[in-house]
Amino acid sequence: MRVLVQKYGGTSVANLECMNKVREKVLISLDKGYKVIVVLSAMSGETNRLIDLARQWSHRPDPCEMDVLLATGEQTSVSLFAMLLKDCGVKARSLLGFQVPIQTDKSFGKARILDIDNERIEEILEKYDVLVVAGFQGCDCSQRITTLGRGGSDTSAVALAAAINAETCEIYTDVDGVYTTDPNICPQARKIKKIAYDEMLEMASMGAKVLQIRSVEFAKKYNVPIHVRSTFSDGPGTLVVQEDKSMEAAMVSGVAYDKDQARITLVGVYDEPGVAAKIFEPISRANIVVDMIVQNPSREGKTDMTFTVPKGNVEDTLNILKKAQADIGAQAILHDVDVAKVTVIGVGMRNHSGVAAIAFSALKNENINIMIISTSEIKISCLIEEKYTELAIRTLHEAFGLDQEAPRKEC
């Protein structure tokens, strides 16, 4: 039995016209001899509408009931789509998360998938040609409904593909693939044909919203090839797959950015064991995600510590730091919310030298000051003034020749 998993996002199931397009895609795959597991999101805007509704009812909506509510979005789309398929004679049925079952932990609102009963799916697939599965939802060990976090249908699809060993997990959306950078900012942005899981993780964590980060982690762990493509056109999209030699030819594969960053500097903290822990432990206990961290060399037993947090967490972080201020000896606590992070990403960095120099001189040519630099094996991030974000993206995109198909420099 050849099985394909196809996930369609909210804009692909927004109304009857869109759902008819989705049906065409599914029928084509059936014609090719596949059985199809279709994973659907809620119709676009529906999850937001439900969240607003809950907020009108309750100041602090109960997390368990919130998941019961949010899961109705996907329940609506799978039932409607299964009707459409049946109307044209397809053997199809809908399945909610708990019916599969997609077993998750108990973290309501951001549950993690623990197990999917593949034998049961295979059994149901004997009787049906298409299973229309509600994305974004599962159930915990006490049969309570859980949801997987915003964008979670991607993860449902990849997890199902992993469970039944599907050939590919196709993610259909309203864009035709993953681009070298945001095409709204840089018109020269190009669709990437093939990208490595690690590169995609960096792009996704930097706000390229095409795939939920967790779905890419899942795909990497179980080696599920993802094909991101458009519901509204037929061309090939972007393959998200295991790294291979061909990917190393390009120095850089993409430029990402994150405007949701704020910079915090602790001036003159003691330079002695335990100070960093005193700073970051309470921040992490408050579930605040710290990103870039820089500590300056010490002068007379004192040092400056600079780091970034999401803009929405600045107030909380400052309050935490004020409590620790005397203990860590900070002379002042400074912050700046008008900052953004631009990042160049590419597995090719591992075997090309000079990538950082190209990035820095490109920014210099536009007179953009770099406040913090952080690197990993496959990325270089620079924190800059927020107002230069677009300019920095365009200049980096050009400096690495990302508008051209062929890699600029061979290894």
Please report how close the Cβ of residue 332 comes to ligand ASP at its closest, in angstroms: 40
What is the C-alpha to C-alpha distance for residues 212 and 44, in angstroms, rounded to an integer? 16
Interaction pattern, residues 143-162, with Mg ion; x per rule: CB under 5 A:
--------x-----------
- Single out the segment in contact with Mg ion by CB under 5 A; choices: 3-11, 63-71, 175-183, 359-367: 3-11
- Per-residue DSSP letter, 11: G
Q: Which of 151, 237 has the CB closer to ligand ASP?
A: 151
- Single out the segment in contact with ligand ASP by CB under 6 A; choices: 146-154, 227-235, 271-279, 366-374: 146-154
Integer CA distances (angstroms), 43 to 90, 149, 207, in order: 22, 16, 22
Count Cβ atoms below 10 Å from residue 276 Cβ, excluding itself: 16
150 is a contact residue toward ligand ASP (CB under 6 A)? yes
8 is a contact residue toward ligand ASP (CB under 6 A)? no
Using DSSP, state whether 93 is helix, strand or coil: strand
Whether 104 and 113 have beta carbons less than 8 Å apart is answered as: yes
What is the C-alpha to C-alpha distance for residues 67 and 76, in angstroms, rounded to an integer? 15
Residue that the structure tokens 């037929």 belong to: 234
Count Cβ atoms below 10 Å from residue 390 Cβ, excluding itself: 16
Q: Which does 97 bind (CB under 5 to 8 A by kind): Mg ion, ligand ASP, none?
A: none
The one among 3, 4, 8, 9 contacting Mg ion by CB under 5 A: 9
Whether 366 and 345 have beta carbons less than 8 Å apart is answered as: no
38 residue type, one letter: V
Count Cβ atoms below 10 Å from residue 309 Cβ, excluding itself: 22
What is the C-alpha to C-alpha distance for residues 290 and 284, in angstroms, rounded to an integer? 8
6 is a contact residue toward ligand ASP (CB under 6 A)? no
Count Cβ atoms below 10 Å from residue 43 Cβ, excluding itself: 21
348 is a contact residue toward Mg ion (CB under 5 A)? no
135 is a contact residue toward ligand ASP (CB under 6 A)? yes
Strand-pairing partners, residue 133, are 39, 95
- Single out the segment in contact with Mg ion by CB under 5 A; choices: 7-15, 53-61, 333-341, 383-391: 7-15
Please report how close the Cβ of residue 9 comes to Mg ion at its closest, in angstroms: 5
61 is a contact residue toward ligand ASP (CB under 6 A)? no
Whether 81 and 130 have beta carbons less than 8 Å apart is answered as: no
What is the C-alpha to C-alpha distance for residues 18 and 347, in angstroms, rounded to an integer? 37
Q: Which of 219, 382 has the CB closer to Mg ion?
A: 219
What is the C-alpha to C-alpha distance for residues 135 and 154, in angstroms, rounded to an integer? 7
Q: Which does 150 bind (CB under 5 to 8 A by kind): ligand ASP, Mg ion, none?
A: ligand ASP
10 is a contact residue toward ligand ASP (CB under 6 A)? yes
Strand-pairing partners, residue 299, are 302
Binding-site size, ligand ASP (CB under 6 A)? 13
Please report how close the Cβ of residue 229 comes to ligand ASP at its closest, in angstroms: 16
Binding-site size, Mg ion (CB under 5 A)? 2
Q: Which does 407 bind (CB under 5 to 8 A by kind): Mg ion, ligand ASP, none?
A: none
41 is a contact residue toward ligand ASP (CB under 6 A)? yes
The one among 6, 11, 47, 343 contacting ligand ASP by CB under 6 A: 47
Per this entry, what is the length of the chain? 411
The one among 37, 38, 39, 42 contacting ligand ASP by CB under 6 A: 42
104 residue type, one letter: T
73 is a contact residue toward ligand ASP (CB under 6 A)? yes
Q: Which of 110, 409 has the CB closer to ligand ASP?
A: 110
Q: Where are the alpha helices (DSSP H) in 101-187?
A: 118-127, 153-163
306 is a contact residue toward ligand ASP (CB under 6 A)? no
Integer CA distances (angstroms), 194 to 55, 205, 248, in order: 41, 18, 12
Q: Which of 208, 396 has the CB closer to Mg ion?
A: 208
Q: Which of 50, 276 has the CB closer to ligand ASP?
A: 50
Residue nearest to Mg ion (CB): 151
Q: Which of 136, 257 has the CB closer to ligand ASP?
A: 136
Strand-pairing partners, residue 194, are 239
The token pair that represents 188 in the structure block? 């020269």
Residues that bind ligand ASP (CB under 6 A): 9-10, 41-42, 47, 73, 135-136, 150-154
Residues that bind Mg ion (CB under 5 A): 9, 151
